[in-house]
Structure 1
Amino acid sequence: MTKLILLTASVCYVSVINTLLINAIPINNSSDEKLIYLCGGESDGSDQSYCYHYSALSREWHTIPDMSTYRANFGLVSLNNKLYAISGTTNWWKRDTVEVYDPITDSWHQLSNVIFTRGSFGTAVLNNAIYVCGGKNGEEYFVCESYIPEANKWTASTPLTVRRSGLGLVALGNHLYAIGGNGLNSMERFDSQSKQWTPMAANMSAKTRSWFGSAVFMDKIYVCGGHDGSDSKSCESYDPITNKWTSIASMLSKRIDFQLVALDNFLYALGGFMDHENTNTVEVYDYKLNQWQYTQSLPHNCSAFAV
């Protein structure tokens, strides 16, 4: 059964300071192959609509049909074997459109628009629903909304307790975790039963962290890089059982607006904005060795994309 892993939201875009956003999510297909999907983002000075997938078996990138819209700073998630590209920006104009890619028909189709137009938000899947939280459109948002594919309808959800943009949003167990954001190092947790957000006691060790990479890996939450007053390469993991953050080995390069993806017992840091320009470099983390090393690059220099 093929697993689609979306590199969090465009060909190279991550919700980090105006660059490509990547979203990574698993999608099941007809084989046991695992695929990383990368779409949109910013490359060569303009927003993009192209998409690729990466085969962990062949270690090659292959094109799939372009999205219908140029997107950066958007959301990209997989649910029920399909890939959803959500909102974001085109040349700094915020978009409210949503489209879905079906790997069986190899095509994109338009869906109902989001309620709140925004960019630099967090996107995650919890209990067969897509959640979008935070972000900004002129002002920073704390609003959340959720989408049920069967109804093709967006519904307002319980808002965050703090306005957050450039945040990380991940699902672990029966909870959503909203992490960091512009000028923040705090975290809050959404309970799928009570439908309430609760500020968590634990703060990240970084003084602030925004436009960073986040992923669930080995039953913990990992965050890397981003902006903490300056560009960062530091990494840390959060254990929901102990409610504690622990520093791990730093990445080899400082990155913002990149994607962090878990695949086959490794973490991958893809692309982003580095040394004042977009990059196509990729590094991989071996948790057994607590060590990063460079690996095969992306097809393009990009940031603010999704995987």
Structure 2
Amino acid sequence: MDGRSRGENGIVLMLLFILLTSSWSAMIGADDTTFSASETVQYISHSNNDFNTSNGFLHENTSVINVTGEAKLNRPAIQWGPTNANGLMFTRTGACTTYLEQTNEIWLMGGRIDPNPNVNNDEGPTDAVEIFDVATGTWSFSSSMLNETQQYAGCAQIDGKLYLAGDYHPTASPEIRSQGFLQSYDLNTSNWTMKTPMPSNKKVGLAGVDALDGYLYVAGGVNRQNRQDITDRLLRYDPVIDNWTELASMNYKRHSFTLTAFHGKLYALGGVSKEINPLTNFTDIIDSNRTEVYDPATDTWTNLSDLPISLAAHDATVFNDEIVIIGGYKDNTWNGVASKSIFGYHPLDQTWRLLHTLPIGIFDSTIAAGDGVIMYATGDTSITRFSSWNAFYLGDTEYFENPPEHEGWITSLPVDLRYSSQGSATPMWMTLDGTTPYGTDLQMQYKSGS
């Protein structure tokens, strides 16, 4: 049996045979020898619900998920390449990207720029917007600049509108607390509009932000420059009535983490968390590997298994039914360590894998995906995060496009379906069940013989 699938996602296979069998007997008469055949219909069912190699199945570009037992098509390996034509106009960090399906574009918005890398303490927020054309793989500068500069904000798109939420000011003197900015871009009017900011005493930056089912969610974050006021709060913005609602709090206070919509729920990954150390009974602020998921249907958070590593100041997007995580920063006394790794995480399958290693470590970068393309851009490689000395921001950007066709095979050993060794069997009915997400198909081939 061969199971074949093309496209991005997985397959789950089950094969059912219904057969017609015939048995032969020899009858010897007194006067002559007569052979007669008595045909008997025998319905024999042979089925497989799993396709492990231990059961004799051969896998080519497919694998079985340990948690679910499902056979799935392996995802295409991400091979990063340079964008076409010109790259980014600015080096920046703390920006945000999101995919806009209506125009097939990825928008890069706001962030923090360094006008002259040879001069210290000249870094600041920007209102600049650049646009990546997914179809052509090219960047262009947009004249649709933000109404307000925003840095270390989160973003998402809802019904063809872009939303940019939150702000953090790491080096402002005197201190500037988060204003809880929210601005939206409308394709129909080609204008940015300031929306109702986050509620008083709940304004944050460095928060986890994503959209789900027509709402914008903002989780965690900080208000103060020293980042000691980490919150576990979850806010939901309704774009229809331009209003904020507070929902159930996370189990951990955290900032600089990712909030990612995946299979109808929101996943909070890593970040800088504030929690009680069970050994000392003191409150610690640490780089975290905590993972929890929010279910909007029940307004509840559930802790999941911790990630294999601690992550903060990373970014994430969903590509090929997997959460792809880029970069990150791990504090180490005075100097931090930036991550070179790009990981793939599937919380339902409980799989974690290394997808790619970058030439240099980066943090506060951006990553987004749409229409079979994934792209990352910008970031920070400074020795110390939020430092005004020796800051080094990036204008790097690369992308990957799924191949036109991607296939995998599951092949069984020969299966003897005869009712007896003297019989024969003819397949009459075979069924193959599996999930076929958009852009994929599932096929079966078989060969029979006597």
TM-score higher than 0.5: yes
The match for 1:83 among 106, 128, 135 is 106
Distance 1:288 1:99, change over 3 A: closer
Matched, 1:204 2:225: no
Distance 1:112 1:103, change over 3 A: same
| Structure-2 separation of matches of 1:97 and 1:289 | 39
| Structure-2 separation of matches of 1:78 and 1:295 | 21
Per the alignment, residue 198 of structure 2 pairs with 160
Distance 1:287 1:103, change over 3 A: closer
| Structure-2 separation of matches of 1:147 and 1:185 | 28
Per the alignment, residue 149 of structure 1 pairs with 187
Per the alignment, residue 111 of structure 1 pairs with 143
SS in structure 2 of the partner of residue 84 of structure 1 = strand
Alignment check: 8 A CA contact 2:97 2:109 kept: yes
SS in structure 1 of the partner of residue 366 of structure 2 = coil
| Structure-2 separation of matches of 1:135 and 1:241 | 29
Alignment check: 8 A CA contact 1:204 1:245 kept: yes
Structure 1 position 266, deviation (Å): 2.3
Per the alignment, residue 17 of structure 1 pairs with none
| Structure-1 separation of matches of 2:211 and 2:78 | 28
Note the alpha carbon deviations across 1:71-123, whole angstroms, 9 max, x for none.
10011111120111111001331111112122345231322221111211111
| Structure-2 separation of matches of 1:69 and 1:93 | 13
Matched, 1:193 2:240: yes
Q: Which runs of 5+ in 1 are unaligned?
A: 4-55
Alignment check: 8 A CA contact 1:100 1:111 kept: no
The match for 1:221 among 245, 266, 289 is 266
| Structure-2 separation of matches of 1:266 and 1:77 | 16
Note the alpha carbon deviations across 1:246-292, whole angstroms, 9 max, x for none.
11121111111101222233223221113521111133323344343
| Structure-1 separation of matches of 2:321 and 2:357 | 19
Alignment check: 8 A CA contact 2:209 2:258 kept: no
Alignment check: 8 A CA contact 1:212 1:224 kept: yes
Structure 1 position 143, deviation (Å): 2.0
Matches within 5 A, 1:1-307: 57-64=76-83, 65-79=86-100, 80-91=103-114, 92-105=123-136, 106-137=138-169, 138-161=176-199, 162-182=202-222, 183-200=230-247, 202-206=248-252, 208-228=253-273, 229-275=285-331, 276-307=336-367
Structure 1 position 212, deviation (Å): 0.4
CA-atom RMSD in angstroms: 2.0
Q: How many residues align?
A: 252
Structure 1 position 218, deviation (Å): 1.0
Distance 1:127 1:303, change over 3 A: same
Alignment check: 8 A CA contact 1:253 1:274 kept: no
Per the alignment, residue 21 of structure 1 pairs with none
| Structure-2 separation of matches of 1:67 and 1:149 | 22
Q: After alignment, is 272-281 or 183-192 more displaced? A: 272-281
Compare CA radii of gyration and give the structure with the larger one. 2
Structure 1 position 149, deviation (Å): 3.0
Q: Which runs of 5+ in 2 are unaligned?
A: 1-6, 9-74, 115-122, 170-175, 223-229, 274-284, 368-450
Note the alpha carbon deviations across 1:16-38, whole angstroms, 9 max, x for none.
xxxxxxxxxxxxxxxxxxxxxxx
Q: After alignment, is 85-94 or 239-248 more displaced? A: 85-94
For normalisation by structure 2, the TM-score amounts to 0.53
Alignment check: 8 A CA contact 2:130 2:139 kept: no
| Structure-2 separation of matches of 1:131 and 1:235 | 25
| Structure-2 separation of matches of 1:270 and 1:249 | 20
Alignment check: 8 A CA contact 2:77 2:355 kept: no
SS in structure 2 of the partner of residue 76 of structure 1 = strand
| One-letter amino acid of the structure 1 residue matched with residue 246 of structure 2 | P
Q: After alignment, is 63-72 or 285-294 more displaced? A: 285-294
| Structure-1 separation of matches of 2:355 and 2:76 | 14
For normalisation by structure 1, the TM-score amounts to 0.77
Alignment check: 8 A CA contact 2:110 2:125 kept: yes
Q: Percent identity?
A: 23
| One-letter amino acid of the structure 2 residue matched with residue 86 of structure 1 | M
Structure 1 position 243, deviation (Å): 0.6
| Structure-2 separation of matches of 1:111 and 1:155 | 15
Per the alignment, residue 36 of structure 1 pairs with none
